[in-house]
Amino acid sequence: MLFWTREEYTKFSEAMMDKPLSFYAFEVLYWCGIREGELLALTPADFDFEKRTLTINKSYQRLNKQDIITTPKTPKSNRVIQIPQFLCDELQDYLKQLYGVEPDSRMFPISKSYLYREMDRGCKQAGVKRIRIHDLRHSHISLLIDMGFTALAIAERVGHESIDITYRYAHLFPTRQVEMADKLDSLKNEKGA
């Protein structure tokens, strides 16, 4: 599993700033940890900028040259996530740049292959390792783990079962294991003293 550190993502995002559509798409993927299909289905109506929330309730795919909007991957994938204020501000700026956008218009009317090409371009320009689009989701999760959030809280945000997060990302929790053992030692020593 590949992921970017925050520093790698920052280099990449700076390289993407010349194309607002690409820049904002990658911002949402990295800072919200949503799936590619969920991103491509987003509409302005999915955002509540006052409450700073994003509702995930659909996914986009292209089948037989048709745009198809479906329900998300799993029942847990239907969720409302809090988004940081800076991202609310960025997305409001982005929406002002769109011509004739309706509440139910796709905000990112692009294809998965467009994102793939932009990922290639940004990685080359920024000099960061090439990861898959889906690895931005892993990058978001690893950032949250690094920030000390629990598997349960992270799972709720990204629409997973917490057990999945715990097993798939256990290798990112090693310091947590040491910290747990040290706290157990402290507890035992307090009581035993």
Contacts of 178 (CB under 8 A, 6+ apart): none
Determine the Cα–Cα distance for residues 36 and 33; give it in Å rounded to an integer. 9
124, 134, 183, 188: which one is catalytic?
Answer: 134
62 is catalytic: no
* Residue of 58, 138, 140, 160 marked catalytic: 160
Q: Which of 11, 52, 73, 76 is catalytic?
A: 73
Instruction: Count the helices and strands in the chain (H runs, E runs).
Output: 9, 5
Of these residues, 9, 30, 35, 79, which one is catalytic?
Answer: 35
Tokens 């509409």 map to which residue? 43
Please give the order of strands across the beta sheet that includes 47-48.
Answer: 47-48, 53-56, 79-82
Active-site residue flag, 35:
yes
Do the Cβ atoms of 41 and 59 come closer than 8 Å? yes
Instruction: Identify whether 137 is a catalytic site residue.
Output: yes
Q: Which helix (H) or strand (E) holds 68?
A: strand 66-70
Which candidate in 137, 138, 140, 157 is catalytic?
137
Contact criterion met (CB below 8 Å) for 115 and 36 = yes
Say whether 157 is catalytic: no
Residues that are catalytic = 35, 73, 134, 137, 160, 169
